[in-house]
Amino acid sequence: MTATPTSIPDVLVIEPTVFGDDRGWFFESFNEKDFSAAVGKSVSFVQDNHSSSKKGVLRGLHYQMEQTQGKLVRVCHGAVFDIAVDLRRSSLTFGKWMGVELSAENKKQLWVPPGFAHGFLVLSETAEFLYKTTDYWHAGSEKCIVWNDETLNIQWPNLGMRPVLNPKDAAGLTWNDAPKF
Ligand SMILES: Cc1cn([C@H]2C[C@H](O)[C@@H](COP(=O)(O)OP(=O)(O)O[C@H]3O[C@H](C)C(=O)[C@H](O)[C@H]3O)O2)c(=O)[nH]c1=O
Which CATH number belongs to the domain containing residue 155 in this structure?
2.60.120.10
50 is catalytic: no
Does residue 177 lie within any of the structural domains? no
Which residue's alpha carbon is at the smallest distance from atom 6 of ligand 1? Answer: 139
62 carries an active-site annotation: yes
Q: What is the pLDDT of residues 124-141, one digit of tens each?
A: 999 999 999 999 999 999
- Give the domain extent around 164: 45-171
- Whole-number percent of the chain with pLDDT over 90: 100
Does residue 65 fall inside a structural domain?
yes
Predicted local distance difference test score (pLDDT) of residue 139: 96
Give the pLDDT confidence score for residue 118 in this predicted structure. Answer: 98
Number of domains in the chain: 1
Q: 127 lies in a domain?
A: yes
Mutate to test the pocket of ligand 1, among 67, 100, 137, 144 (most ligand atoms within 8 A of CB): 137
Residue 76 lies in a domain: yes
Q: What is the pLDDT of residue 18?
A: 97
Assigned domain for 5 exists: no
Q: How far apart are CA 156 and CA 82, in angstroms?
A: 9
- Report CA(139)–ligand 1 centroid distance (Å): 9
Q: From the CB of 132, is ligand 1 less than 6 Å away?
A: no
pLDDT in tens, 1-55: 999 999 999 999 999 999 999 999 999 999 999 999 999 999 999 999 999 999 9
Q: Would you state the pLDDT for residue 16? A: 97
Residue 86's pLDDT is 98
Whether residue 106 lies inside any domain: the answer is yes
Q: Is the CB of 172 under 6 A from ligand 1?
A: no
pLDDT at 45: 97
Is 4 inside any structural domain? Answer: no
The verdict on whether omega for the bond into residue 61 sits within 30 degrees of 0, i.e. cis, is: yes
165-175 residue pLDDT tens? 999 999 999 99
Q: Closest ligand 1 atom, CA of 142? A: 29
Residue nearest to atom 32 of ligand 1 (CA): 137
Model pLDDT for residues 30-39, shown as the tens digit of each residue: 999 999 999 9
List C-alpha distances in Å: 49 to 25, 45, 73, 135, 167: 23, 11, 9, 12, 21
Please give the Cα distance from 2 to 94 (Å, whole number): 25
Write the burial class of residue 56 (CB in 10 Å: 0-12 exposed, 13-18 middle, 19+ buried): middle
Best probe residue, ligand 1, of 49, 52, 82, 122 (max atoms within 8 Å of C-beta): 49
Q: Measured in angstroms, how far is the CA atom of residue 93 from the centroid of ligand 1?
A: 26
Residue 146 counted as domain residue: yes
Of 98-102, 120-124, 159-163, the range with the lowest mean pLDDT is 159-163
Tens of pLDDT, residue by residue over 59-116, are 999 999 999 999 999 999 999 999 999 999 999 999 999 999 999 999 999 999 999 9
Task: ipTM value, please give it.
Answer: 0.97
- Alpha carbons 145 and 95: distance in angstroms, whole number: 12
Q: Which of 77, 131, 136, 138 is catalytic?
A: 131
